[in-house]
Amino acid sequence: MILRGARVALSPERAERLDVATAHGSVKTMGRVPGRKGVDCSGYLMLPGLINAHDHLEFNLFPRLGNGPYESASAWARDIHNRFRETIQEALEVPLRERLVWGGIKNLISGVTTVCHHNPWNEVFDGRFPVRAVRALGWAHSLEFSADLRERYVSCPANRPFIFHAGEATNGAGKREMHILAGLGLFAANSVMVHAVGLDRESLALARVRGCSVVWCPSSNLFTLGKTLSRSVLKSDLPIALGTDSALTAEGDMIDELRVARQICGMSEARLYRMTTDAAARVLRLSHGEGAIQAGGVADLLLFRDRGLTPAQTLLSQVPEAALVGGVPQMVSADLATAWRTSLRQLSRFHRVTIRGRGTMYLRLKTPPIREGLSLAGRLVAA
């Protein structure tokens, strides 16, 4: 496939007008491609597909549950299981496979093309799933909910990220948990700590020395704990990737998460761009060029309307009009679908869906049944 005439993001600040040719799932060439074959992308800005470093894909049809802030994630979990038992039961009646696919769609429509799912691998990810799920990783839930945390860590190859919830508490327990984890050898170069709200000065220093990484889920942290990573952590050189977490606790999708993150401490658009692209790829040790647009790398590409802004400014202010995974269009907005209809025949087989606040779009994969009142990460879905 040849995408012609877009400005192509080469960094958070820089984009150049280039044709991008894809083949066999990768970017083949970038530059001037002779001929007229392909789709017209003039007037659009091309960004790399985003990386969501933390989600529980099966929980994205749930409403946000809880009346926090709580002193810990376990206090939150106990409370919602007591008070929202029926709501949870009802949401669990939708088959797992269906919920996972909707979780993939939530990610796709917000520009995420690679997601790190924090729960067991499901065969649905091996088939035609809307986005890539990261497979080469080790994981455990947390110190409290994984009695075998240390064994799981030891059995994870050192060249793969090991992902676990860490220090998800504000009552001193979070700090103590960080110190216990350090004692267990969990402060290591491949450790990816999700939430890490309990990082204090001492554990932050150790994490930096050992080369640990953190996944930041600001809206989820603020909802459950009323607090998120400290300024000193956010301003440190600790590698940080952004994660949405699931609809149970998060504000919405990756677009919402970027907005919340931006509001918190005036972090630059460029840093947030990196937290969802190349920095996230390094944290998750992705090795196929994810998080960048480059010859030989995966052709995971987004198109936004070009308003003359930088790639980072565009990401923080707009929603994507198209998302390609491995060079295959998976989501195309209604406007772009009209423009591309003659050059991209397969669009006639795409499935139309309207999602509140995200507009009408065409998806390559058939959506699972759209049940009465279906809400995807807080947004109503209609056929």
Helix (H, G, I), strand (E, B) or coil at 77: helix
Compute the distance between CA of residue 130 and CA of residue 283 in angstroms, rounded to an integer.
Answer: 22
Residue among 76 and 153 whose Cβ is closer to Zn ion = 76
Binding mask 96-135 for Zn ion (x = CB under 5 A): ----------------------------------------
* Least Å from the CB of residue 118 to Zn ion: 5
Compute the distance between CA of residue 54 and CA of residue 119 in angstroms, rounded to an integer.
Answer: 10
Instruction: Provide the 10 A C-beta neighbour count for residue 260.
Output: 21
CA proximity to 271, closest of 306, 310, 300: 310
**Residue nearest Zn ion (C-beta atom):** 245
Residue among 245 and 256 whose Cβ is closer to Zn ion = 245
* Least Å from the CB of residue 250 to Zn ion: 9
* Least Å from the CB of residue 245 to Zn ion: 5
* Least Å from the CB of residue 77 to Zn ion: 11
Residue among 55 and 300 whose Cβ is closer to Zn ion = 55
* Least Å from the CB of residue 62 to Zn ion: 13
Residue among 19 and 245 whose Cβ is closer to Zn ion = 245
Cα-Cα-Cα-Cα dihedral sign, residues 32, 37, 43, 46: negative
Compute the distance between CA of residue 45 and CA of residue 309 in angstroms, rounded to an integer.
Answer: 9
* Least Å from the CB of residue 54 to Zn ion: 6
Residue among 165 and 175 whose Cβ is closer to Zn ion = 165
Residue among 245 and 251 whose Cβ is closer to Zn ion = 245
Burial of 230 (0-12, 13-18, 19+ CB in 10 A): middle
Size of the site for Zn ion (CB under 5 A): 1
Among residue numbers 206 through 265, which ones bind Zn ion (CB under 5 A)?
245
Quick one: how far is CA 34 from the chain centroid?
35
Contacts (Cβ under 8 Å, ≥6 apart) of 354: 360, 361, 381, 382, 383
Among residue numbers 287 through 326, which ones bind Zn ion (CB under 5 A)?
none
Give the residues lining the site for Zn ion (CB under 5 A).
245
